[in-house]
């Protein structure tokens, strides 16, 4: 059976940095001290008006292709984990696919909220292990800021925007060792954006048409999520370690979902992984939802925390309620750099992809108009 190895990685965060003090300046009843001590968050990145989720996803994906030295045209499947897609349809993955020029790839979105990236990684690995795909691009990208009520101190200080991506490739050597996914929909109301779907519809100005309760905003019972998350992330981590035949001392790096430093520390304590093996960057980005783990992975690599042969444990939780964990043996050298012309090649390839995509669109228009002329003549 082929194994699924992570061979490329990339991240992108918007350039706008928003520090905790900005909320105080906005008139919110909070303080840097409260946010930092209760969550570990010091700042986050927020998108500008014209930056959609696919824009972030494409930038992270290009970097992942670059580190892998891979061609977009060789990707078999693209999975974008997101709960903030560009549109209800088409999928954000399809938009990423055409912009990368991944002409052979299937494309789909996966929504498991903040657990989405680990769900997507497990799904992509399954495709490779079954022999149905050789290369799968897995992206976690979210802009939860578009659903935040900036007057609600319980939620707006916690989240940020960003994207991370990895390229999975079939290999004879071990890669993804094991994974687990779980869900408990009885807790759906604990973390929810009520409007915008089929239950409570959004009207054209983006507001719920049922009531004025701010149903378009993210709503959360923080303390209940907190208690559940520390238990659930620990349980999922233990399950996946057992399935992978790993003891806590054999885990070289633990990258949990970056939502709250206290949840991260409590989980690591429960699982028995010492703090020096835990990676956290929640202080700089807040909770970037499906992007949090791939962004943390990229920064862990950049910080020299990952080397060939390492056992890395990923664990996440989120709305659903949902949770997932995955263990992976790192199989590639992080020092190995692709050829120097790779960024240029990627730039040329994406320009060509844009031209190809525009030509296909034009071609479709011409065909439609020819078809309708012919039909008119026949009538
Ligand atoms: N600034 C100041 N006070 C705040 C605040 C803020 N930004 N946000 C909430 N509070 C207040 C609340 O209004 C509440 O006040 P009250 O007691 O007068 O009603 C109080 O702080 C809550 O305190 P406490 O229960 O001790 O908070 P906490 O230690 O549970 O921390 C969270 C609150 C939200 C930080 C924490 O529960 C949490 O991180 N939960 C998980 C959330 C999460 O990860 N969600 C994403 C899942 S993917």
SS3 for the chain is CCEEEEEEEEEECCCEEEECHHHHHCCCCCCHHHHHHHHCCCEEEECCCCCCHHHHHHHHHHHHHHHHCCCHHHCCEEEEECCCCCCCCCCHHHHHHHHHCCCCCEEEEECCHHHHHHHHHHHHHHHHHCCCCCEEEEEEEEEHHHHCCCCCCCCCCCECEEEEEEEEEEECCCCEEEEEEEECHHHHHHEECCECCCCECECCCCCECCCCCCCCCCEECHHHHHHHHHHHHHHHHHHHHHHHCCCHHHCCEEEECCCCHHHHHHHHHHHCCCHHHECCCHHHHCECHHHHHHHHHHHHHHCCCCCCCCEEEEEEEECCCEEEEEEEECCCCCCCCCCCCHHHHHHHHHHHHHHHHHHHHHHHHHHHHHHHHHHHHHC
Mean pLDDT of 124-149: 98
CATH superfamily of the domain spanning 3-329: Thiolase/Chalcone synthase (3.40.47.10)
pLDDT of residue 173: 94
pLDDT band at 212 (very low <50, low <70, confident <90, very high): low
pTM value > 0.75: yes
Percent of the chain with pLDDT over 90: 84
pLDDT at residue 204 in the model: 60
Active site residue 114: yes
Indicate which residue of 111, 257, 281, 298 is catalytic. Answer: 257
135 lines ligand 1 (CB under 6 A): no
Mean pLDDT of the 19-43 span: 97
Q: How far is the CA of 149 from the centre of ligand 1 (A)?
A: 15
Residue 371: pLDDT band with limits 50, 70, 90: confident
pLDDT beyond 70 at 340: no
pLDDT at 237: 98
pLDDT at site 341? 61
pLDDT the model gives residue 205: 61
Q: What is the mean pLDDT of residues 242-254?
A: 98
Mean pLDDT for 305-332 is: 97
Distance 325 CA to ligand 1 centre (A): 25
Question: Mean pLDDT over all residues of the chain?
Answer: 94
């Amino acid at each position: 059976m082929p194994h699924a190895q992570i061979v490329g990685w990339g991240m992108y965060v918007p350039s706008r940095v928003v520090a905790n003090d900005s909320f105080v300046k906005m008139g919110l009843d909070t303080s840097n001290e409260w946010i930092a001590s209760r969550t570990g968050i010091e700042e986050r990145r927020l998108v500008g008006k014209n930056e959609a989720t696919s824009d972030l996803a494409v930038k992270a994906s290009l970097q992942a292709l670059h580190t892998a030295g891979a061609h977009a045209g060789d990707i078999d499947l693209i999975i974008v984990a997101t709960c903030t897609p560009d549109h209800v349809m088409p999928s954000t993955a399809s938009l990423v696919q055409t912009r990368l020029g991944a002409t052979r790839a299937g494309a789909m979105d996966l929504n498991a909220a903040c657990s989405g990236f680990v769900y997507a990684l497990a799904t992509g690995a399954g495709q490779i292990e079954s022999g149905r795909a050789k290369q799968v691009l897995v992206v976690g990208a979210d802009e939860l800021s578009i659903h935040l009520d900036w007057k609600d101190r319980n939620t707006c200080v916690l989240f940020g925007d960003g994207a991370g991506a990895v390229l999975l490739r079939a290999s004879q050597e071990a890669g993804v060792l094991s994974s687990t996914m779980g869900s408990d929909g009885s807790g759906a109301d604990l973390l929810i954006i009520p409007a915008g779907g089929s239950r409570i519809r959004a009207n054209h100005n983006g507001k719920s048409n049922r009531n004025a309760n701010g149903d378009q905003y993210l709503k959360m019972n923080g303390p209940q999520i907190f208690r559940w998350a520390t238990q659930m992330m620990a349980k999922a981590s233990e399950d996946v370690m057992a399935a992978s035949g790993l003891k806590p001392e054999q885990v070289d790096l633990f990258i949990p979902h970056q939502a709250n430093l206290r949840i991260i520390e409590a989980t690591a304590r429960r699982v028995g992984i010492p703090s020096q093996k835990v990676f956290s960057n929640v202080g700089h980005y807040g909770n970037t939802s499906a992007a949090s783990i791939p962004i943390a992975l990229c920064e862990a690599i950049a910080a020299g925390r990952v080397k060939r042969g390492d056992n890395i444990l990923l664990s996440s939780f989120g709305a659903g309620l949902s949770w997932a964990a995955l263990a992976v043996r790192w199989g590639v050298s992080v020092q190995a750099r692709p050829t120097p012309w790779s960024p240029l090649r990627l730039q040329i390839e994406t320009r060509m992809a844009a031209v190809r995509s525009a030509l296909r669109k034009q071609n479709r228009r011409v065909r439609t108009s020819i078809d309708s002329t012919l039909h008119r003549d026949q009538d």
